[in-house]
Amino acid sequence: MTEREENMAVTLQRRRFTLDEYHRMGEAGILGEDDRVELIEGEIVVMSTIGSRHAGAVARASHFFTTRLGGRAIVWPQNPVILRALTSEPQPDVVLLAPRADFYASSLPEPSDVLLLVEVADSSLLYDRRTKAPLYARAGVPEMWLLNLEADRVEVFRRPTARRYADVRSIGRDERFSPLAFPDLVVTLADLIG
């Protein structure tokens, strides 16, 4: 390609979608209930395939939180959370939500409803760390845990700012820690991933 041809090359533009357009695509059947997609800053993103280790970690973490917290939180596994100001509707692996009588049947949860958000990462580690963690911070999600299956660690993200989490810690298998919303709940990595 010559320099002149390079200068004349067409610049591709991305078409971003609103939350309403994204929902209408689902209602019209363009996006099916089984499609593994989420809306991230107006773009429809195909989610990673879930392997058995990832699925097991989601099931174990969901079971742990359900049995240990009882009615103190709603455990919301692999369901959407609306980040309206960021034109996003991710589907985190496990979310602890403030209790609500209708279990969020009348409207999907938003950041103000989130007590703790957990992502399980194996093949999605860099995406979760570089894209989703800053997104959740900008939305004001108070705490996010990234269960890093490859390194056998949990990364704890706290103190959201306008760009990222100001407090990030990496916790090993034998360390004990607690969610900010439930300081009485002592957790180890083994509790969450086995």
What domains sit in the chain, N to C, each tagged with a CATH number?
51-193 (3.90.1570.10)
Segment among 6-15, 112-121, 125-134, 155-164 with least mean pLDDT: 6-15
Taking the whole predicted model, whether its pTM rises above 0.85 is answered as: yes
The pLDDT value given to residue 92: 97
The pLDDT value given to residue 11: 75
What lies within 8 Å, CB to CB, of 86 at 6+ separation is: 41, 135, 138, 139
Number of neighbouring beta carbons within 10 Å of residue 101: 6
The tens digit of pLDDT for each residue in 39-86 reads 999 999 998 888 899 999 999 999 999 999 999 999 999 999 999 999
Which phi and psi (to 5°) does residue 188 adopt? -125, 165
